[in-house]
Structure formats: C-alpha cells, structure tokens
C-alpha cells in the first residue's frame, strides 16, 4: 500500500493539463476543505461525486478542461454582450 500526505496528494492532482473537477473524500471536513482550496480545478466537491452540478452555480474548468463558466450569472455573462441602445421619440435638430 502506497501512502501520501496531503501535500503530495495535491501535487499529484495538480500535475495534469486538465482541471475540470475534483473530489476529496475524507472523514475530516476541515481537512477536505483545506485540500479543496489548493486543487487547481474549476469545481471541487468534498465528500461527494465529481459531477454534481446545479443550474444556479458555475460549471466549468481550468487549464485544458475549458474556459469560462456555465450556469447562473456566469452563463449569462459568457453568452451575452452588454450594449447601450437608445431610442429617441423624435428626431433631434442639429446643431442645438
């Protein structure tokens, strides 16, 4: 049996070109959250499966796992462009 400490586990997990999602399974929630903060992924689940998305939260990766986020305001921002549009009720006379 090979054992690694938290630092080694995070280093192994981050030593990849991909970073969509990760999961940390542990009996110590604080330890799991501490590890989750160090993982280079777009999503991290502590004590849950690696795919557990909901429509109101951002879904997306880092590195070669994609760019951007889907879901919630992140999806709106990713697929829209803010514009300023005005409509005058009558033609302006120039010069004023």
How is domain 6-79 classified at the architecture level of CATH?
3-Layer(aba) Sandwich (3.40)
pLDDT at 44: 87
Give CB contacts under 8 A, 24+ apart, made by 66-69: 66/20, 66/42, 69/42
From 2-6, 22-26, 32-36, 82-86, the region with the lowest mean pLDDT? 82-86
The domain spans of the chain are 6-79
H or E stretch at 36: helix 29-38
Residues 48-54 have a mean pLDDT of 66
Cα–Cα nearest to 52, from 16, 19, 23: 23
Q: Please name the residues in contact with 18: beta carbons below 8 A apart, sequence gap of 6 or more.
A: 61, 63, 64, 65
- The more confident residue out of 28 and 62 is 28
pLDDT at 37: 92
- What pTM value is reported for the model? 0.60
């Amino acid at each position: 049996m090979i054992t690694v400490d938290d630092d080694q586990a995070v280093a192994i997990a981050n030593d990849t070109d991909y970073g969509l999602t990760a999961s940390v399974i542990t009996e110590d929630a604080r330890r799991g959250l501490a590890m989750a903060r160090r993982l280079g992924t777009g999503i991290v689940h502590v004590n849950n499966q690696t795919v557990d998305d909901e429509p109101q939260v951002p879904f997306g990766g880092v590195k070669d796992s994609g760019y951007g986020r889907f879901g919630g305001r992140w999806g709106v921002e990713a697929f829209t462009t803010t514009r300023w549009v005005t409509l005058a009720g009558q033609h302006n006379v120039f010069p004023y």
